[in-house]
């Protein structure tokens, strides 16, 4: 079962995202019910994701220079540029809605 989950994990996550978007667009009245489930489901998904990485492999990864260089470039160069470009494109197409990269406070 674990091998199957690891093999299909990313497609299943993407399918869940698409399904959630379709349900949200087709039946907006369901938003309050699903809104309550976001945090518990997200915690369960993160827990399952991080448990699939053995701790012994984390130590090896932290000693791997290529891995750390890639991680650094991704987190400090590529992601900020992508967020900036997305925030600019969002504010251009939808003025008055603010930046999607800015956290939104709950009720």
Quote the tokens at residue 66: 């290529």
Which pTM was predicted? 0.45
Give the largest CA-CA distance in the chain. 50
Mean pLDDT of the chain: 78
The yes-or-no verdict on residue 107 having pLDDT over 80 is no
Say what the pLDDT of residue 14 is. 92
CB 24 within 8 A of CB 30: yes
């Amino acid at each position: 079962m674990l091998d199957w989950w690891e093999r299909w994990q990313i497609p299943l996550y993407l399918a869940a995202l698409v399904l959630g978007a379709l349900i949200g667009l087709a039946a907006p009245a369901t938003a309050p019910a699903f809104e309550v489930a976001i945090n518990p489901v997200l915690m369960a998904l993160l827990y399952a994701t991080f448990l699939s990485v053995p701790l012994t492999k984390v130590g090896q990864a932290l000693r791997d220079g290529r891995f750390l260089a890639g991680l650094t470039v991704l987190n400090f160069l590529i992601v900020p540029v992508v967020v900036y470009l997305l925030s600019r494109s969002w504010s251009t197409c939808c003025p008055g809605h603010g930046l999607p990269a800015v956290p939104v406070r709950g009720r």
